[in-house]
């Protein structure tokens, strides 16, 4: 019998350690009132805002209930707002507000710092291949999650 893989353990530890480090970076930049889940949502919205809550849940891998709590917090901080879809008034889209863009340079700096830390000992030519392999793992997990 083959020895069990440690990938799940490594991914969990990477996630936990990354969240702690991200929180530390937020505190260092006077953004301590944000947590890693909120940062993940803001990062996804920075890529594209005016998206549905379901699409945001898919992009962040947060459950709808967790995402709702995160969105409530971000809305109370005046970083996002819920707006009615023009196509379907029953549907809300999530939009970044001006305050987020005022702090965007700081968010970008933190994201670049985190990327630098993630890839510190990687040869440049291996980064894209590594990310492609991570994407394959993510796709495999998502495929089985839907079964």
Instruction: List, for the chain, all residue ranges whose pLDDT scores fall below the cut of 50.
Output: none
Q: Tens of pLDDT along 46-55? A: 999 899 999 9
Torsion sign over Cα 58, 63, 68, 73: negative
Write down the architecture of domain 9-145 according to CATH. Orthogonal Bundle (1.10)
What does the domain layout of the chain look like in residue ranges? 9-145
pLDDT attached to residue 105 = 86
**14 in Cβ contact with 29 (< 8 Å):** no
pLDDT, position 126: 96
Residue 36: the pLDDT is 79
Q: What pLDDT score does 78 carry?
A: 92
Residue-wise pLDDT for 3-34, tens only, equals: 888 999 999 999 999 989 988 998 898 877 78
């Amino acid at each position: 019998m083959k020895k069990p893989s440690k990938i799940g353990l490594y991914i969990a530890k990477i996630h936990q350690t990354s969240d702690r480090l991200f929180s530390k970076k937020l505190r260092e930049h006077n953004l301590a009132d944000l947590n890693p889940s909120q940062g993940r949502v803001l990062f996804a919205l920075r890529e594209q805002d005016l998206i549905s809550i379901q699409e945001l849940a898919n992009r962040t891998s947060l459950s709808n209930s967790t995402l709702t709590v995160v969105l409530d917090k971000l809305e109370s901080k005046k970083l996002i707002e819920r707006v009615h879809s023009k196509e379907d008034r029953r549907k809300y889209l999530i939009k970044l507000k001006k305050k987020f863009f005022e702090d965007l340079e700081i968010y970008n700096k933190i994201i670049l710092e985190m990327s630098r830390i993630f890839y510190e000992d990687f040869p440049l030519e291996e980064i894209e291949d590594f990310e492609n392999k991570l994407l394959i793992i993510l796709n495999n997990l998502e495929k089985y999650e839907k079964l």
